[in-house]
């Protein structure tokens, strides 16, 4: 029997259950594990599991499942740790629906009283029952979960507007669409409303115009929607040398928490600097740069936290409109955060992108400190007021 395991999100890794379940399933046969989604990458790196869980490819959970199906896996496990059983079950429902009815078993919130094993196909029932027994979790039938989810979520089109109801939301949570914060919930009953491909209203929430503008035109039925924090755990980050990291091989045994001193040339003839103004982009591709200029509060926070693992400093341009997207963020030594008046971060960012980067995403410079000083001078020319934090 061939078993494929799709690991989704940081929670299942941070709690230690991803490694535990991989060990349990390894008792049946050799298993193949890969990440589905991108937010779990940092958790896998922090846990030292990049040699056990393949994080090299940027695939959605449904894409990872379809890849396993093509590879001839007899059974595929989806490991997830949602912030509630409601969100976890809704997530599994959407993933299996997009995955062309695969031989799928979901393990949801295994460390909680409401943790479950869901058999998404009837021929998986017997194996699901065995796994539920080993993990001491409640077994659910996929058809029952489907009926429950379809009764309280889904999309509705009316008067040329698309309405999408969101499951498992609590008041005061960030609402993410494709990784971008588009608003905040004010109740547990939240519905996104879109017209002509743009979100125009949040019923039961407050719209964030800045995020909507950056998000652009979307298909509300297909986008990935999340609420709450991107990563709820408070963890010890693991710093590695990104330029020498082969994501297909383990650099440390599972569970190792090392912080090696990165190899840094005392004098570099050329330094690579990147520009980033969208937190939903693949930040991991910037792990080999020497500095990343980030624009926007959320983009700066997420980029700084991820790039800390590779000892890459950021030069963040913010305006104080910060949404808490992780429980605790980190930034590499040498990072600079500039806080401007509200609404000025995008304007300053566009000027820097035009004048310093000449419209290119990555440039090469001779001296990072001189470049930082040049950026500060441009900012002071444009903005009347700024606070510089190092």
**What span, in angstroms and rounded, lies between the C-alpha atoms of 102 and 118?**
13
C-alpha separations of 326 from 174, 259, 300 in Å: 11, 21, 12
**Using 50, 70 and 90 to split pLDDT, how confident is the model at 324?**
low
| Sign of the torsion formed by the C-alpha atoms of 345, 351, 357 and 360 | positive
Q: Residues 95-104: what's their mean pLDDT? A: 93
Helix 40-47, helix 297-308: angle, nearest 10 = 20
DSSP 217-272: S--TTTS-EEES-SB----------GGG--TTS-SS-TT----PPPP--SS-S-EE
Cα separation, 261 vs 125, whole angstroms: 49
DSSP calls for 331-375:
--TT-EEEEESTT-HHHHHHHHHHHTSTT-SEEEES-HHHHHHHH
Percentage of the chain exceeding pLDDT 90: 64
- Cβ count within 10 A of residue 389: 11
d(CA 377, CA 142): 59
pLDDT of residue 250: 36
Long-range contacts (CB closer than 8 Å, 24 or more residues apart) made by 116-119: 116/85, 116/88, 116/89, 116/140, 118/89, 118/92, 118/142, 118/145
The C-alpha atoms of residue 365 and residue 52 are separated, in whole angstroms, by: 37
Residue 264 has pLDDT above 70, yes or no: no
Measured CA to CA, the distance from residue 191 to residue 200 in angstroms comes to: 11
- The HSE-up count of residue 34 (CA atoms within 13 Å, CB side) is 22
pLDDT at 39 over 50: yes
Enumerate residues 6+ apart whose C-beta is below 8 A from 176. 182, 224, 225, 226, 227, 230, 325
Domain 3-149: assigned CATH number: 3.40.50
What per-residue confidence (pLDDT) applies to 93? Answer: 94
The per-residue pLDDT for 266 is 43
Residue spans of the domains in the chain: they are: 3-149, 153-227, 264-389
Find, among 36, 119, 124, the residue nearest to 75 by Cα.
Answer: 124
Burial class (CB in 10 A: 0-12, 13-18, 19+), 265: exposed
Q: Which pLDDT score, from 0 to 100, does residue 268 have?
A: 60
Interior angle at CA 27, CA 23 and CA 32, nearest 5: 60
pLDDT band at 326 (very low <50, low <70, confident <90, very high): low
Q: How confident is the model at residue 246 (pLDDT cuts 50, 70, 90)?
A: low
- How big is the chain by its Cα radius of gyration, in Å? 22
Tell me the per-residue pLDDT of 76-87, one tens digit each, with 9 for 90 and over.
999 999 999 999
pLDDT beyond 80 at 265:
no
**SS3 label, residue 168:** coil
Query: Which residues, 6+ apart, have CB-to-CB distance to 23 below 8 Å?
Result: none
Q: Which tens digit of pLDDT belongs to each residue from 143-183?
A: 999 998 888 777 888 888 999 999 889 999 999 998 888 99
CB 193 within 8 A of CB 162: yes
């Amino acid at each position: 029997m061939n078993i494929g395991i799709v690991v989704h999100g940081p929670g299942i890794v941070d709690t230690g259950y991803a490694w535990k379940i991989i060990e349990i399933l390894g008792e049946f046969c050799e298993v193949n594990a890969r990440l589905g989604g991108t937010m779990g990458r940092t958790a896998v790196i922090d846990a030292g599991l990049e040699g056990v869980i393949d994080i090299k490819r940027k695939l959605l959970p449904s894409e990872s499942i379809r890849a396993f199906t093509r590879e001839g896996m007899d059974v595929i496990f989806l490991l997830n740790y949602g912030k509630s059983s409601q969100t976890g079950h809704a997530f599994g429902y959407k993933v299996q629906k997009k995955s062309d009815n695969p031989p799928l078993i979901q393990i949801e919130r295994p460390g909680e009283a409401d943790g479950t094993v869901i058999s998404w196909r009837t021929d998986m029932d017997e194996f699901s029952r065995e796994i539920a027994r080993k993990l001491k979790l409640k077994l659910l039938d996929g058809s029952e979960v489907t009926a429950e989810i379809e009764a309280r979520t889904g999309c509705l089109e009316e008067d040329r507007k698309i309405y999408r109801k969101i499951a498992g939301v609590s008041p005061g949570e960030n609402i993410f669409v494709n990784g971008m914060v588009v608003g905040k919930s004010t109740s547990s009953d939240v519905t996104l409303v879109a017209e002509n491909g743009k979100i125009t209203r949040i019923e039961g929430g407050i719209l964030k115009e800045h995020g909507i503008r950056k998000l652009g035109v979307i298909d509300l039925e297909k986008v990935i929607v999340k609420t709450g924090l991107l990563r709820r755990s408070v963890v010890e980050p693991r710093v590695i040398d990104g330029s020498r990291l082969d994501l297909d091989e383990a650099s440390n045994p599972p569970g190792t928490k090392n912080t090696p001193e990165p190899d840094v040339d005392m004098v570099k003839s050329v330094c690579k600097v990147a520009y980033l103004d969208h937190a939903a982009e693949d930040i991991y591709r910037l792990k080999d740069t020497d500095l990343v200029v980030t624009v926007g509060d959320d983009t700066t926070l997420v980029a700084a936290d991820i790039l800390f693992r590779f000892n890459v400093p950021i030069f963040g341009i913010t305006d104080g409109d910060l949404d808490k997207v992780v429980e605790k963020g980190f930034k590499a030594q040498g990072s600079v955060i500039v806080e401007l008046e509200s609404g000025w971060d995008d304007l300053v960012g566009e000027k820097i992108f035009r004048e310093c980067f000449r419209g290119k995403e990555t440039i090469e410079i001779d001296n990072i400190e001189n470049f930082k000083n040049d950026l500060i001078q441009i900012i002071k020319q444009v903005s009347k007021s700024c606070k510089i934090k190092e």
